Amino acid sequence: MPQAMAYIRKEFVPLSEAKVGVMTHAFNYGTACFEGIRGNWNSDDRTLYLFRVREHYERLKNSAKVLLIDLPQSADELADLTTRLVGMCDFEEDVYIRPIAYKSGEVVGVRLHNIDSDLLVFVTPFGAYLDTSRGARCCTSSWRRVADTGIPARAKVTGIYVNSALAKSEAVLNGFDEAIMLDESGHVSEGSGENLFILRKGRLITPPVYGDVLEGITRDTAITLAREELGVETEERPIDRSELYIADEVFMTGTAAHLTPVVEIDHRPVGDGQIGPVAGRLQELYFDAVTGRLPKYRHWCTPVSPRVAAAQ
């Protein structure tokens, strides 16, 4: 029977047993970094495909360096550990894997040095984060993206996501699906948990990695698919807020959000207010890639066959 599982303190345990104490440094001060990894269920071959696991762990190790967190395992070792963990769960549906490298010491005091670290990984079923089929309605947020000189966006630090939560709730409570955040210079940065692309005159444009954005793995996937499958190049440069209003198409990318077209921004329709042809085709390619249906990109996917299915 399927069961959510976790890895903590070097042990595999049921998720319900994965606990940390109230004095844990990461809980009190946000001194942790994390990743989000999708497992995409392919019902045709009854296999979960974990998407770009190694790349996620390479990024986690870089984030851990920023926070002085000891993460001694290699990216390959962490990927193998995660594949084993997912296999224990026997899920036959889309899942979300959350690795967290955190300051586990029960210590009071603001600092990063001389505090014990640990790794937690858990798996849970996870469906759609945004409605990818109808497109998202977005607003530009009044909350500015935290600059690299404050908390670096390229490190997925748990504490910085308060910034994202403020923007997300502002958007949803005002009737939108998602927020688009600007940086301190007023240029487009990213969504509350997604990178952003616009299409103008047949060319994709996305904010550069030095623009206080996460170096997104789904972002890189979209750039690759656009170039190799559609012949569409991507330019990385600053984007003005007003460019959002005159773009031919807009879409967002992220592990949780997949590839989600944007159909409205600040009560203005994007293009004709429908999902555009480039975003629509990229979305199809993306979903085929992450479910192992495109042989050319199978190297991105790590298959995990549930033991329940294997025994039948």
Catalytic residues: 156
Which residues, including other chains, have CB under 8 Å from residue 272's CB and lie 6 or more apart?
none
Inter-residue contact 133 to 197 (CB < 8 Å): no
Closest listed residue to residue 266, CA positions, set 189, 188, 180 = 180
Cβ-contact 131, 198 below 8 angstroms: no
- Answer for the pair 130, 136: CB distance below 8 angstroms, yes or no: yes
Which among 254, 241, 7, 233 has a CA at the least distance from the CA of 141?
241
124: tokens are: 């849970």
Q: Give the number of other Cβ atoms within 10 Å of residue 127's Cβ.
A: 8
